[in-house]
Amino acid sequence: MSMNGFHAFPDKKKAFKETNRVLKKGGSFIACFYIRGKSKRTDWLVKNILAKKGWFTPPFPTEEQLLGILHKLYSKVEYYLDGSMVYFRCVK
């Protein structure tokens, strides 16, 4: 489970691969985090304040990029989008 953690990792591809590597077959990866491109206000806040403070670390995926990553790594992907936050459950 990763609640609001992935947008802090500088190497998100490595984090996704490692999460998948340690997850048992049939196991679930449940997470939520910020994705860019859904709200100009949130994108501005993340870029100009949160990233500068070091709380969020670019690059930040778009919805399409995230789904591409998840579908490549997992057999089942369920997700819900609420503004700039995506909530998902993936099964290995």
| Structural domain for 68, as ranges | 2-91
Cα atoms found within 13 Å of the Cα of residue 25, Cβ hemisphere only: 0
pLDDT per position as a tens digit, 12-33: 889 999 999 999 999 999 999 9
Q: Which residue has the higher pLDDT, 7 or 41?
A: 41
* pLDDT at 43 (0 to 100): 97
Which CATH number do you get for residue 31? 3.40.50.150
Q: What is the mean pLDDT of residues 78-86?
A: 95
Q: Are 28 and 78 in contact (CB under 8 A)?
A: no
Handedness of CA 4, 32, 82, 12 (dihedral sign): positive
pTM (2 d.p.): 0.87
Q: Say how many domains are in the chain.
A: 1
Q: Residues 54-78: pLDDT tens digits?
A: 999 999 999 999 999 999 999 999 9
**Structural tokens at position 9:** 């990792």
